[in-house]
Amino acid sequence: MNDLRSKVEEDRGIVKQIELLIPGFHGYREREDIRAADSLLRQQLANKMKEINSIFEQCREELGRAMDLTLISNMGNIVKFSRLIENRIRHAEQGYTGISADFRIEEEELNTLYEWDLALLQTIDPIHTMAGELLNSILVDDGTAFRKMRILKNTLNEFNSTLNKRMTKIAGLEVT
């Protein structure tokens, strides 16, 4: 995967290049570019979650066609939770801090935030695979759908927990 931070730096327009030359504005410009790269990365992550949600919707539709009422409720909970995760990713904090903020997010922390989100992007692929396997087991009715749903729910819980820790860990705000 390409590093979006480099792409954002390469695509700086003339105004942004002038901002880099102004004393006191250079750091601001660099932090804003990292935030922009992280925002692009999170949009990719949210779009992958949207693809997974579409597979979950297919699972729910297939269970409805088969009139498997015991599994439809479980699938509905997975769909609802997965959509919540997608929205949390799409609208996650960007690490912006104002002039007199309670805590400041500096360039190093923003880079850590970007790396954290990049790691999330790599962990979402197994969830996509698991969603496809769940759909296949529902389509062939092999009797493993309930077990796969339970595993998927646990995996989504772990993913959500990692997402919860994102900003507090990176900003050093966690009380231990």
Give CA 15 to chain center in angstroms: 31
Do the beta carbons of residue 113 and residue 95 sit within 8 Å? yes
pLDDT digit string (tens) for 98-128?
666 667 778 888 888 888 888 888 889 999 9
Longest CA–CA separation in the chain, Å: 67
pLDDT digit string (tens) for 74-100?
999 999 999 999 999 998 877 776 666
The pLDDT value given to residue 44: 93
pLDDT digit string (tens) for 49-74?
999 999 999 999 999 999 888 899 99
Task: Report the predicted TM-score, pTM, of the whole model to 2 decimal places.
Answer: 0.82
The pLDDT value given to residue 129: 97
The pLDDT value given to residue 155: 96
Range with the poorest average pLDDT among 12-21, 111-120, 146-155: 12-21
Separation between Cα atoms, residue 108 and residue 53, nearest integer Å: 33
DSSP 41-110: HHHHHHHHHHHHHHHHHHHHHHHHHTT-HHHHHHHHHHHHHHHHHHHHHHT-------TT-SS---HHHH
Separation between Cα atoms, residue 31 and residue 19, nearest integer Å: 12
- Banded model confidence at residue 175, pLDDT cuts 50, 70, 90: low
- Banded model confidence at residue 170, pLDDT cuts 50, 70, 90: confident
- Banded model confidence at residue 171, pLDDT cuts 50, 70, 90: low
